[in-house]
Homo-oligomer: A and B are copies of this chain.
Amino acid sequence: MEVSSYIKAPPKTIVNCVAYCEGRRKAEVELSQVHEILQEFNQFVWIGLHEPSEEVLEQVQHEFGLHDLAVEDAHKAHQRPKVEMYGDSVFVVLRTARISKDHRIEFGETHFFVGTNYIVTIRHGSSISYADVRSRCESSPQMLNKGPGFALYAVMDFIVDQYFPVVNEMEIELESIEDKVFKEKPSRKTTEQIYQLKRELLEVKRAVFPLVDICNRLVRFDIKCISEETRPYFRDIYDHVIRINEMVENTRELLNTALEANFSLISISQNDVSKKFAGWAAIIAIPTLLTGFYGMNFKFIPEIEWPYGFHAVLLLAIGLCLLLYYLFKRSGWL
């Protein structure tokens, strides 16, 4: 088999196309040669595509006899995470997520076609290559020998694990919001930050929540391409998904409470402003009132001719102000 010659001019969208025999990497193959491999016993093909053109997809469909609807879905992207069974083969759609360099969450999509002797992974949008997963699998052939179902597990596990840093990032964001809410002055920015985090949480939830059902079905249903001994591994992914969901739910509930707490604190803050204002208004009003009396034009005003009248009133005013200041301070109005 002149396998090496196959590699000459692979279309760019085909990242990898390798045949495995008894769990061991056998050779890279051309897409058009795949059907030959499929006929041999105990072999399977693992093809990795990245945003494939319609022609490549058609070729893949032709090689493995995939259902029209699934291939249409695989081409369009922007699907909801789901698992569909078409006879002996399984079509899985997952959403991938990762933190970009500017701390935003970037979503991608990966589709899987899995049969008894093949697995095709198709990446769309922002996502990390699965080359590492593949080489890790290749390093333990006894596992990979469990068939394409194990390869499916390996990539799914990798995708799900990518959500942990994403959720952690959001938990850190929540903590930063908490700090702002409870330690800083109420600001428009904090409210907007809460809203944005909520938005991200909803998006992550939409990506992760359907995985509960997907894993459940992969574990429970009798699917030919997933061997009996591979199923506990999907239960493991199920556990991770449940945990991610819980973390998201938790963060969301805390965020809602933070929004309400924020609101309470704004009101308390408003209260403080009012009190402060009222206090200072009173302090200023008293001497104003006092000077009003001595500004009246009556002929006879007590002490009006006393040389120290002005100073007395001034001192009285200052004294009253200090007294009020002390009283307000004590009662918490200032």
Which A residues contact B (CB, under 8 angstroms)?
67, 69, 73, 79-80, 82, 84, 86, 178, 182, 185-188, 191-192, 194-195, 198-199, 202, 206, 232-233, 235-236, 239, 242-243, 246, 250, 253-254, 257-271, 273-278, 280-282, 284-311, 313-314, 317, 332
Contact = CB atoms under 8 A, between A and B. Distances in A.
Nearest to A285: B284
A187 to B, nearest CB: 7
A294 B194 CA distance: 53
Contacts of A73: 236
Report the 7 A-B pairs with minimum CB-CB distance, sorted nearest first. A291-B292, A294-B296, A277-B278, A298-B309, A295-B295, A298-B310, A266-B267
A311 B301 CA distance: 8
Nearest to A276: B278
In the complex, which of the residues A242, A290, A332 has the most CB atoms of chain B within 10 Å of its own CB atom?
A290
B257 A198 contact: yes
A80 B242 contact: yes
11 contacts: A80-B239, A182-B188, A206-B250, A257-B259, A269-B271, A277-B278, A285-B288, A290-B292, A292-B292, A298-B304, A299-B304
Contacts of A311: 302
